[in-house]
Amino acid sequence: MSDKSYNLKSSDPFHPLDRSFKADPNWTKKIIRKVMRTVFKYNMIRHGDRVVVGVSGGADSVCLLDVLNELKDSLGIELVAAHLDHGLRPDADRDETKFVESLAASLDLPFETKEAGPGLREGVKGLEERARQTRYRFFEELRKKTSSQKIATGHNLNDQAETVLMRLLRGSGPAGLAGIPPCRDQRIIRPLIEVTRNEIESYLKCKQIAYMTDSSNLETRYLRNKIRLDLLPKLKEYQPRIVEILGHTAETIRGEDEWLEATAEKWLRESAETMDNGGIKISLPLFKGLSAALRNRVIRYALRITGGDLLRVSLCHIEAVDRAAMGKRPQAQVNLPNRLTAGRVYDRLVFARVKDKIPEGFNYTLKGPGTFHLRALNRSVSVKEIESWVPLEIKSSPWTAFLNADRITYPLAVRNFRAGDRFIPFGMRGHKKIKDLFIDLKIPSEARASTPILVHQNTPIWVCGLRIDDRFRVSPDTRRVLKVTFRECT
């Protein structure tokens, strides 16, 4: 996607200038006009904007800086050249920083740089992905520091074609095949997205502008490099204009994708319910009424809301969630990347982030009245005896229970559900398994383990948040009331 692949090897020196190359001013003007059309087409820049331009020193970013410098007066904008020193190849990175600094000085533009630091070498994600995220963080910090409105990067039409092929090989759906957006988040822009790499290199030759190259771009251990060096040249044998065609395909899909995305967003906003844990749940009958294409898009958007991004979430994951929702099993969960889960819970489709599991077998003793911290549940429980009470003072709340203290002796216990637990639900006469109560109330399997049970002499007297035992209910003859309340710890 960028004009570099980052590894620990050194980069080549400045790209040699071909002094024999005959400059063609009409060619450079053509490229400048092409970029101008792209800027207007996607409404990338407004008059008066200040733009942070990411410059690595490679051909793409050097061309981007020069073209925008040519257009700055026409567009009424200011530019800030920005370069991140990744610190992965000490000598080469220093050379690149000096090169970009001298380039900015030659154009009389302000220059900002920063060293990434040693933390870039370590992390769960791949080095290229960590480098990309570090760059964008730096650009965003600089945008705020310089009161800039936009961040411009050097992605071009070849990057677009490579991205479409790479995502096709990875099994992406329409959203992935839409490729690199010309504008993202209303502040990141790609003015060269309709310019080919050949056009960029020809532009630099015509203007006799030097740039730097990275030898790691010739290594085929990265998928993008394999596509650039092996697959695309083979495809050009069948279709010489494959880069332009893939770019046009991405643009077409992107238009349809944006419509689907907006439709899914509107539907989800009107139909979904936000849960206390930050997840969302959707009525399954409503979801089943959607077309397959819109169902997939609703799933994608729900995962984005829940998890923040769709990194590593592929079409096969989306389809797995859809199968769980449309299947016959009353409960079916799909574990997804980024600590996300999604699946059917009776008549709801639920999306959530995975939290730390509650330790199995939690058991807390309540020796008497007072407040007790339940670390495993991140809750506190208060126990209070009321000697004189008025029936009208008892207000209903799922997490507050009023029990007949005349029938209770200490200690009490709060523990997790156990197989075989049974009680007499309020209003009933016969015993009922707590497991059957969970099923009747459609309590998700994962929620059952975290549902606290208040126990008196090994007998459950309150399935907390759900039902009390009828034998311990408050009656007109009750002299003392036990008030038990659960609260979330903040």
Output the pLDDT for position 11: 37
Beta-bridge mates of residue 161? none
In this model, does residue 97 exceed pLDDT 80?
Answer: yes
pTM, two decimals, is 0.66
CB < 8 Å & 24+ apart, contacts of 137-140:
138/82, 138/84, 138/114, 139/52, 139/54, 139/82
The residues, any chain, with a CB within 8 Å of residue 198's CB and separated by 6 or more, are: none
In this model, does residue 392 exceed pLDDT 60?
Answer: no
Pairing type for strands 331-336 and 340-345 reads antiparallel
**Mean pLDDT across the stretch 238-257?**
95
**Mean pLDDT across the stretch 174-188?**
92
**Closest to 423 measured CA to CA, from 476, 468, 376:** 468
Q: How confident is the model at residue 13 (pLDDT cuts 50, 70, 90)?
A: very low
Rg over alpha carbons for the chain, rounded to the nearest Å, is: 31
SS3 260: helix
Maximum alpha-carbon separation in the chain: 107
> What is the secondary structure of 331-391 as a DSSP string?
EEEEEETTTEEEEEETTEEEEEEPPPPPPTT-EEEE-SSEEEEEGGGTEEEEEEEESS--G
In this model, does residue 431 exceed pLDDT 80?
Answer: yes
SS3 415: strand
Supply φ then ψ for residue 53, to 5 degrees: -105, 115
For residue 165, the number of C-alpha atoms closer than 13 Å in the C-beta half-sphere is 26
SS3 396: coil
Share of the chain above pLDDT 90, in %: 52
Output the pLDDT for position 413: 92
**pLDDT 10s digits, 271-304:** 998 887 778 999 999 999 999 999 999 999 998 8
SS3 13: coil
The total number of residues shown for the chain amounts to 490
**pLDDT 10s digits, 393-411:** 556 678 888 999 889 999 9
Instruction: Select the more confidently predicted residue: 387 or 159.
Output: 159
How far is 334 from 321, CA to CA, in rounded Å?
Answer: 6
**Mean pLDDT across the stretch 302-313?**
80
Residue 291, token pair as written in the block: 């077309």
**Which of 170-174, 377-381, 425-429 comes out lowest in average pLDDT?**
170-174
**Closest to 482 measured CA to CA, from 395, 423, 415, 406:** 406
Instruction: Select the more confidently predicted residue: 13 or 477.
Output: 477
**Mean pLDDT across the stretch 132-151?**
94
Supply φ then ψ for residue 338, to 5 degrees: 65, 30
The DSSP call for residue 392 is G
**Which of 37-41, 144-148, 217-221 comes out lowest in average pLDDT?**
217-221
How far is 147 from 49, CA to CA, in rounded Å?
Answer: 9
Residue 315, token pair as written in the block: 């079409």
CB-count burial class (<10 Å; 0-12, 13-18, 19+) for 349 = buried
